[in-house]
Structure 1
Amino acid sequence: MLELVKVLGLFAITALAEIIGCYLPWLVLTQQRPVWLLIPAAVSLGLFAWLLTLHPGAAGRIYAAYGGVYVAIALIWLWRIDGVVPTRWDLVGSAVSLAGMAIIMLQPARSV
């Protein structure tokens, strides 16, 4: 169980790095924010790529499971950063994504 908590935490940090790395260029391109924001965006995406290497297991399985956590973190971002309250549909979709992540991560006799 502790392993799952660690993996979920790492997934959450990884998702934040990816979201920040994509959000900053979006601000530059659509909201006319300063171009220098592309520098921390590149650093954040580099961090994202490095964080993916820290996850235990086969890369494809990790990416698939990570997607469920990414959806949940993205909806938290929607709410806290964009100021848009997630709908019931958003929350149900996120729950389904997290259930998929749990099925992938908790499968018996998981091979690396």
Structure 2
Amino acid sequence: MDVIRSLAIFILAGFCEIGGGYLIWLWLKESKPLYFGIIGAIILIAYGVIATWQTANFGRVYATYGGVFIVMALLWAWKVDGFKPDKFDIIGATIALIGVCIIIYAPRVS
């Protein structure tokens, strides 16, 4: 149950970071209205709060989130921007995801 909760928090935080960043991107790079940037900033703040819900220490959480972010960013680009990841994107994301699962979920000797 702890792993499922942890994964759900990583996914929620990922949506907030990517979604918030995307809204700011649209505001600054594609001349969308200011409220896109404001909403994006609020969502990015939510990301920072959501990440604290993890039970591991800061360093492990943020190291792990980096790998989760890689996978989610590629999925976002594919589904939202129409970018099709190639086999090297998929291989790299898989390696990153395996690495972060080891970092965050490997049993530790106390």
Provide TM-score, normalisation by structure 1: 0.92
Partner of 2:62: 63
- Whichever residue aligns with residue 82 of structure 2, its letter is G
Partner of 2:45: 46
Partner of 1:104: 103
Output one character per residue of 1:49-76: Cα deviation in whole Å (capped at 9) or x when no partner.
1101101111011100111111111111
| 1:11 and 2:10 aligned | yes
Q: 5+ unaligned residues in a row in structure 1: which ranges?
A: none
| Alpha-carbon offset, residue 25 of structure 1 | 1.2
Deviant stretches of 4+, over 3 Å:
none
CA distance in 1, matches of 2:53, 2:4: 14
| Alpha-carbon offset, residue 38 of structure 1 | 1.2
| 1:35 and 2:34 aligned | yes
| Alpha-carbon offset, residue 106 of structure 1 | 2.1
Q: 5+ unaligned residues in a row in structure 2: which ranges?
A: none
| Map 1:73-112 → 2, pairs under 5 A | 73-109=72-108
CA distance in 2, matches of 1:29, 1:42: 12
Provide TM-score, normalisation by structure 2: 0.93
- Whichever residue aligns with residue 99 of structure 2, its letter is G
CA distance in 2, matches of 1:55, 1:6: 9
What is the RMSD computed on CA atoms of the aligned residues?
1.3
Counterpart of 2:69 in 1: which secondary structure?
A: helix
